[in-house]
Amino acid sequence: MASAIIVFSHLRWDFVFQRPQHLLSRLARHYPIVIVEEPVHDTERTFLKTYSPAPNILVCQPHTPVAMPGFHDDQLPHLQKLLRELVRDYDDHLAWFYTPMALPLLQELKPRLVVYDCMDELAAFKNAPKQLLQRESALLKVADLVFTGGQSLYRSKRDRHPNVHCFPSSVDRAHFVQALDRTNSHPAHREIPGPRLGFYGVIDERFDVDLLGSLADAHPMWQIVLVGPVVKIDPATLPQRANIHYLGQQPYEALPQFLAGWDVCLLPFAMNESTRFISPTKTLEYMAAELPIVSTPVTDVASCYSDIVAIAGDAESFIAACEAALLAPPEEHARKVEGMRRVLAATSWDSTVEQMRALIDITPRRQDIPLIEPAAVPVAIDESEAPNVNLLRRDEASRFAKTAIIGAGPTGLSAAYHLGHDAVLFEKNDMVGGWCRSIRDKGFTFDHAGHIMFSDDPYVLELYDILLGSNVHWQDREAWIYSKNVHTRYPFQGALHGLPPEVVKECIMGAVEARYGAAKPGATVSSTAKAADCCADGGVALSGTNVASLEKRGPANFEEFIHQVWGAGIARHFAIPYNRKLWAVPLTEMETSWLGGRVPLPDLEQIITGALEPAAKPMGPNARFGYPLRGGFQALVSGFVPHIKGTIELSADIVAVSPKQHLLTLADGRRYEYESLISTMPLPELVRIIGDEAPEEVKQAAAGLKHISVRCVNLAVARENITDKHWIYYPEDTTLFHRIFVQGNASPECNAPGGFGITCEISYSPDYKPLPLSGQALIDRCIEDCIKVGIFRGDDKVIVANEADMPYAYVIYDHARARNVDTIRSWLAMHDIILAGRYSEWEYYNSDHAFIAGKKAAEAVKWVERKSAVAAE
């Protein structure tokens, strides 16, 4: 048996016969169709009412004791139960959505494919549920195939999914040509004299009621016939005139008879948010009746049919267009009819369905279906089970935060800055800043690992100004590498001079072979390498290098990438050992999407020049970095605080999140209900504190996320100006640390008088590369290593030594990362949780990206609020 199609629809089958009915009744020739409608309220019990309106179509109407409308969250436990039983009969099935609100029900299915047939911008409609936009984003993430109803909708969705296809509504021509028999006018017209100007369809907020009144008033002899149900708007707001006739909803079968009795067909849509993306099905049906059509400038009508449909932007011109239509000379009407026939000849619902079927057939069956665990029935959080919750506050009423933000690192601060008064920012530390916090010790300032300011983004540069004003210090970077007992400038491949001759030779030969072995003659070359070592992690340095399209097979992992980019010599003497040391995991376990998806060709000129003579000091904007003059990197992020209008709660450790109840619990026992939640805390931690509300799939995805940690050993000696470098990379195993950040040179203000500070950074991972030492033993080892590499002298007096741990430091781009993040993000999005920032989006973000991530999260929240407000008006 063919796969069934399980359809979730906000429109009842017996409502106006439109796109879903046209498509599904034709698809029913090939697949059993099961339509799950929105629930109907029943005071007593939960059951499924079913009926079959046509062969191979089963309409299922859930009845539940829940009064909330549509696929409301409160309905879900009831619907899940009903659906679980229903799908037992349809092992092999596709899921087909008309409304994203039903997305949580996908958890009950194991669909071969998920299809989203987007026929309207539902979020722009009156009374749209506030979660609709977020649910749609989540649906676009899980869908395999997306169809849109018209060009405008297509344009608005095509960048949001890789497999979007435009299928404007079509026409059942054989049905509507019956209208050409003008003697077959509907009996309801009997008492309505001509001329008749008609409209059929749903009469709701999209309808321009004022325009209709003006039309009726302009020509009291014209009769305006309106066929269709009045929904969502108060019928009392509709204009009442002797020449306006509301005939209510009529069967689809009767529509040609109405057309047969009309002289002009109307598309009197209001021009507002709710009609921005509409593509009225009736346009083509009116054309099949070969009647003059007058429309307001609905984008999809005006852009496609302005030669055959009269388009009028205000009441006066609409009335004039109707006058002109009634008086049009026969030859002009004939010209339009010819155009209408041409349009109709090119489309049919049958061919639309055939094209859709072809796409269904070629779309690969989905392998992994996120979110498929049955969701638990919402339960109240029992604080006694949540870790570290102060039980004294268990009876306190929960408070309310319109938007709650977890984490006051740069992302959370930026989100709060871009939101308004009603945002509450929760930070578990007693100060803001996240990993951009600074540490003061005996007059020295250290950061959590070296942090510098760098950005090409004009918005970020403006933010730097707002946050720091004149408290900033820009300088040319001095980045170096220490290997083979010599210092060479960073990047390694551009400054081989000074290394042993056999190393230089091996590096050049390797690069030559990589270039001519890997690049096809005539391969396209661009110069837009994305990855650049802007924040001094040292793993990659591609900017300014030529980039070639990938060979037939791109690098399968990071290790291969290194070989292809720089060749065997540079790989062996720097890139592989340094990256192994930094990333801790085998480089073959890492993919390369974070490097921009392209492989740059080795720049031989740069390599050879840098081998023949000492590399010049780097010049130009990329060679400069900023740092706060006073206050360490902390000063930058603390700069947000005076500008934040909402509330900042410090020492506010969120220990439980209930996505279903929209409820946060703090370690001190307070609880906050929220409308939207922006989380910037590490993703695995978020899933952990969500607990059993998260489906197993999501928990497993979170367990699969890999990261590495960094331990910083901050040291200061009683000697000034120990080096003029800003940071130095150590690729060899002779030192524990992979990098020293010369904190004392970030800003002279970081040093106490007479002394100088540095930070040794040691990456580690409990699974792959456990930290070999800690505490004083680690500090002693770092001092020893610093002496070994010449950064300290044997007689230097160490006057400050402390450790700072960064458990989540770098996210690892292993091969399962994208899939795991997607699984978690999709599920959270369905519950109004927006992920933002380095550890929430699980991305290699620097603080400038974090600023933008916070801004975007704030904009997403504001957008949803705006849309909900518009829809509620």
Ligand X SMILES: Cc1cc2nc3c(=O)[nH]c(=O)nc-3n(C[C@H](O)[C@H](O)[C@H](O)COP(=O)(O)OP(=O)(O)OC[C@H]3O[C@@H](n4cnc5c(N)ncnc54)[C@H](O)[C@@H]3O)c2cc1C
Report the interface residues with ligand X, using CB under 6 A: 406-412, 426-429, 434-436, 449-452, 535-536, 652-654, 680-681, 685, 710, 806, 809-810, 837-839, 845-848, 850
**Residues 256, 289 contacting (CB under 8 angstroms):** yes
Inter-residue contact 663 to 673 (CB < 8 Å): yes
Shortest approach of ligand X to residue 811 CB, angstroms? 10
Q: Least distance (Å) from ligand X to the CB of residue 850? A: 4
d(CA 760, CA 781): 11
Of 326 and 386, CB closest to ligand X: 386
Closest to ligand X by CB, 31 or 426: 426
Identify which of residues 151 and 429 has a Cβ nearer to ligand X in the complex: 429
CB of 786 to ligand X, least distance (A): 18
If phi > 0 it is left, if psi is from -120 to 50 it is alpha, else beta; for residue 127 that is left
Q: At what angle do helices 847-872 and 458-468 cross, to 10 degrees?
A: 100
- Are 75 and 68 in contact by the 8 Å Cβ rule? The answer is yes
**Amino acid letter for position 183:** T
Task: State the Cα–Cα distance between residues 137 and 133, nearest whole angstrom.
Answer: 6
**Which residue stretches of 789-816 are H helix?**
none
> How far apart are the C-alpha atoms of 543 and 344, rounded to whole Å?
53
Nearer to ligand X, 370 or 639 (CB): 639
Residue type for 181, please? Answer: D
Based on CB atoms, which residue is closest to ligand X, 101 or 654? 654
Beta carbons within 8 Å of 249's beta carbon, 6+ residues apart: 16, 227, 228, 229
Cβ 628 to ligand X, closest distance in Å?
12
Copy the structure tokens of residue 54. 């046509």
Residue number, 288 or 850, with CB nearest to ligand X: 850
Shortest Å distance, C-beta 234 to ligand X: 46
- When the beta carbons of 328 and 771 are compared against ligand X, the nearer one is 771
Q: Which is nearer to ligand X, 427 or 693 (CB)?
A: 427
Name the residue nearer to ligand X (CB basis): 315 or 648: 648
Q: Of how many residues is the chain composed?
A: 873
What single string gives the DSSP state of each residue in 722-781? --S-SEEE--STTSS-SEEE-HHHH-GGGSPTT-EEEEEEEEEBTTTB--S--HHHHHHH
Segment (H or E) for 818: helix 817-829
Q: How far apart are CB 142 and ligand X at their closest, in Å? A: 25
Under a CB-based contact definition with an 8 Å cutoff, are residues 691 and 389 in contact?
no
Measured in whole angstroms, how far is the alpha carbon of residue 238 from the centre of its chain? Answer: 40
Task: Output the smallest distance, CB 570 to ligand X, in A.
Answer: 24
Radius of gyration of the chain (CA): 33
* Least distance from ligand X to the Cβ atom of residue 597, Å: 21
CA 266/CA 285 separation, integer angstroms: 12
Nearest approach in angstroms of CB 705 to ligand X is 15
- Closest CB to ligand X among 10 and 477? 477
Q: How far is the CB of 456 from ligand X (least distance, A)?
A: 13
The nearer residue to ligand X, 94 or 835, going by C-beta atoms, is 835
The Cα 175–Cα 742 span in angstroms is 79
CA-CA distance, 491 to 507, in Å (whole number)? 13
* Type of residue at 843: E
Q: How far apart are CA 569 and CA 546, in angstroms?
A: 19
- At its nearest, how many Å lie between ligand X and the CB of residue 661? 17
